[in-house]
């Protein structure tokens, strides 16, 4: 048994080969992807499902966070239910050589929920920088997108916003 609070994950890693870790990671993610059980000892229940010790669940989760496989563990609010009904996918055509620098700036804005570089598909799709903005109204989203435009300044060669009109399917990430 490993004490999650004491053992560093790298120490733990040496105990198992990488394939075994990947397999356990996947099983932990699969066992928690619909959420941690709302019980006094949730990791104990996950451990029973996965077939490992409770402390191992915590060690593996910490390790996945350190490696960036998991970005955060927490309460995930349903923004839509809480009134964030307007969702604008802003897309920008910026010079490739500036994409990283500009992307990091946009990605740090606190109202941007996703910011990615993606390939263009010319001539149909010239945009290479994507920034998702949520708000309670389109006006709110437009104000925020105006701030992005200000930040990107002269680097903008083209841009548009695609508002969502219907959610047709939304499920948590599934392992296939």
Shortest separation between residue 156's beta carbon and other proteins, angstroms: 16
Distance, in Å, from the CA atom of 31 to the CA atom of 135, rounded to the nearest integer, reads: 32
Among 45, 61, 141, 145, binds other proteins (CB under 8 A): 61
The site map against other proteins for 132-151 (x = CB under 8 A) is --x-x---------------
The residues, ordered by sequence, that sit 6+ positions from 60 with a Cβ below 8 Å of its Cβ are: 9, 21, 24, 25, 28, 52
From 9-17, 146-154, 158-166, span contacting other proteins (CB under 8 A): 158-166
Distance, in Å, from the CA atom of 105 to the CA atom of 131, rounded to the nearest integer, reads: 11
Closest to other proteins by CB, 12 or 103: 103
**By CB under 8 A, is residue 165 in contact with other proteins?**
yes
- Decide if 64 contacts 9 (C-beta within 8 A): no
- Decide if 85 contacts 75 (C-beta within 8 A): no
- Decide if 92 contacts 42 (C-beta within 8 A): no
- Residues counted in the chain: 176
Instruction: Measure Cα distances from 176 to 26, 61, 166 in Å.
Output: 10, 20, 26
Shortest separation between residue 99's beta carbon and other proteins, angstroms: 7
From 13-21, 66-74, 143-151, span contacting other proteins (CB under 8 A): 66-74
Site for other proteins in 70-129 (CB under 8 A): 70-78, 81-83, 87, 89, 99-100, 103-104, 106-108, 110-119, 121, 124-125
Number of residues forming the site for other proteins (CB under 8 A): 76
Here the tokens at position 85 are: 């009904």
Shortest separation between residue 67's beta carbon and other proteins, angstroms: 8
Closest to other proteins by CB, 12 or 134: 134
**By CB under 8 A, is residue 49 in contact with other proteins?**
no
Distance, in Å, from the CA atom of 28 to the CA atom of 117, rounded to the nearest integer, reads: 29
Shortest separation between residue 9's beta carbon and other proteins, angstroms: 11
């Amino acid at each position: 048994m490993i004490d999650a609070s004491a053992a560093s994950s790298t120490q733990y890693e040496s105990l198992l080969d990488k394939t075994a870790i990947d397999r356990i990671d996947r099983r932990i993610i699969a066992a928690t992807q619909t959420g941690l059980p709302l019980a006094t000892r949730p990791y104990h229940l996950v451990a029973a499902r996965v077939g490992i010790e409770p402390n191992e669940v915590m060690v593996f989760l910490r390790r996945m966070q350190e490696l960036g496989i998991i970005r955060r563990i927490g309460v995930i609010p349903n923004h839509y239910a809480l009134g964030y009904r307007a969702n604008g996918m802003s897309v920008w055509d910026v010079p490739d050589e500036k994409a990283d620098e500009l992307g990091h700036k946009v990605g740090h804005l606190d109202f941007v929920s996703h910011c990615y570089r993606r390939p263009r598909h010319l001539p149909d799709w010239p945009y290479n920088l994507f920034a998702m903005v949520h708000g309670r109204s389109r006006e709110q989203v437009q104000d925020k997108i105006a701030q992005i435009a200000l930040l990107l300044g002269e680097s903008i060669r083209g841009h548009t916003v695609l508002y969502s009109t219907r959610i047709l399917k939304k499920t948590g990430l599934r392992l296939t």
